[in-house]
Amino acid sequence: MSPAVAESPVSPDSARHAIDVLIVDDSVVVRRIVAKVLGEDSRFHVIGAVASGAQALEFVRTHPVDLVLLDMQMPGLDGLQVLPKLMADERKIQVVLLSGNCREGSELALHALAAGASDVVAKPSAGHFSDRFVEHLIDRLVHLVPPTERSRTPERVDQATARLRPPGNMVRAVAIGGSTGGISAMMTLLAGLEGNANFPIFITQHLPANFQALFAEQLRRATRLPVVIAEDGMAVRPGTIHVAPGRAHLSLAKDARGHVSIRLTNERCLHGSYPAVDPMFAGVARVYGAGACGVILSGMGRDGLAGAQAIAEEGGWLIAQDHETSAVWGMPGSVAKAGLASAILPPQAIADLIIGQWRAVA
């Protein structure tokens, strides 16, 4: 069966810089409503609307797609089965799951995000798309990747061919940033650090604010290290994971006695993410200098690049997740391509390198 073309296409001229969207839902009513809503917004170009996961996979093979709005519950392949197949596409398509049964902030929703979904949005029943829901959906979609960051994944660079910097010989603090596909990599990395780390660990993961508590709980399950959601003024604790909250950036401050504490900021960042990786990396560079180790995991865009530069300038060092294990190599790829990384490795090997460097001078 040929995929159905969306009922409300946008003209090529108006869509030239728009996000190309594919709608996947077994309800014809939902497909038409969502196509109409997005078709009336010049920031989107609805390129197609199909009824099944199989049709979606066929469609993306032959059409340029930036974003897939994917129904969670469908006959045949459901959203969670289709998601990894879409994420395997070399173009690194963004996927937002729409679900009438999967509550935003639920464990199932976080599982979808760990598998590579950019967001999960609770969907009202067909015919109940209120103006408030439409505004909510549009706001979530346009903040996924700002236009200036909507670039394709950088070409792969491996450990053998990259311009690598020497690894640092100190580990006083580790800051880990990730986005799409970063959660599963982060779990593996942290599992490799548990029982070894007495240095503070800071984490910024691009997530909607209502997922942060559950994300922190999953981190607690994945490691024996204590986990806290960062609060302004909180004293930094060695051997503890400090997670950036959903509505502010995590940064750091040091007083005259050398005590380090959390500072939450709402500074505007190029990438538009809350929380963003750049302020965390910059704060770690400022406070820990040559003892700062930054890790950049799977994610679209270039958040973390400016902060990585700050770490490098202060004598710290960085590790990028490799292309093969990343769902999206935009964030780690940008750091690797800039020649800022000391290593380009899979998550477990990242943990091994950090522990090896820490033990060498401990």
Task: Using the predicted structure, report yes or no on whether residue 20 has a pLDDT greater than 70.
Answer: yes
Q: What is the pLDDT of residue 5?
A: 46
Q: Confidence class of residue 6 from pLDDT cuts 50, 70 and 90?
A: very low
Tokens linked to 276: 């963003």
Task: Using the predicted structure, report yes or no on whether residue 12 has a pLDDT greater than 90.
Answer: no
Tokens linked to 346: 């899979």
More reliable by pLDDT, 348 or 128: 348
Residue 213: other Cβ atoms inside 10 A: 14
Catalytic annotation, pick one of 52, 118, 179, 184:
179
Residue ranges matching CATH 3.40.50.180 in the chain? 173-361
Task: Using the predicted structure, report yes or no on whether residue 151 has a pLDDT greater than 60.
Answer: no
Task: Using the predicted structure, report yes or no on whether residue 89 has a pLDDT greater than 80.
Answer: no
Tokens linked to 313: 């300038």
Closest among 225, 232, 167, 168 to 198, alpha carbons compared: 225
At the top level of CATH, the class of 173-361 is alpha beta
Q: What is the mean pLDDT of residues 179-204?
A: 90
Residue ranges matching CATH 3.40.50.2300 in the chain? 19-144
CATH classification code of 19-144: 3.40.50.2300
Q: What is the pLDDT of residue 11?
A: 41
Catalytic annotation, pick one of 45, 206, 242, 271:
206
The residue type found at 346 is P
Q: Which residue's entry shows tokens 């902060």?
A: 307
Per-residue pLDDT tens digits for 231-281: 999 999 999 999 999 889 999 999 999 999 999 999 887 766 779 999 999
Q: What is the mean pLDDT of residues 139-167?
A: 73
Full DSSP string of 13-66: TTTTTSEEEEEE-S-HHHHHHHHHHHHTSTTEEEEEEESSHHHHHHHHHHS--S
Q: What is the pLDDT of residue 362?
A: 64
Query: Residue 56 and residue 48: Cα distance in Å, rounded?
Result: 9
106 catalytic residue (yes or no) = no
Buried b (16+ CB within 10 A) or exposed e, 5-24: ebeeebeeeebeebbbbbbb
71 catalytic residue (yes or no) = no
Q: What is the pLDDT of residue 274?
A: 79
CA 240 to chain centre: 22
Catalytic annotation, pick one of 20, 66, 78, 303:
303
Task: Using the predicted structure, report yes or no on whether residue 207 has a pLDDT greater than 60.
Answer: yes
Q: What is the mean pLDDT of residues 5-27?
A: 66
Mean pLDDT for all residues in the chain: 87
Task: Using the predicted structure, report yes or no on whether residue 126 has a pLDDT greater than 80.
Answer: no
158 catalytic residue (yes or no) = no
- Of 3-12, 149-158, 325-334, least confident by mean pLDDT is 3-12
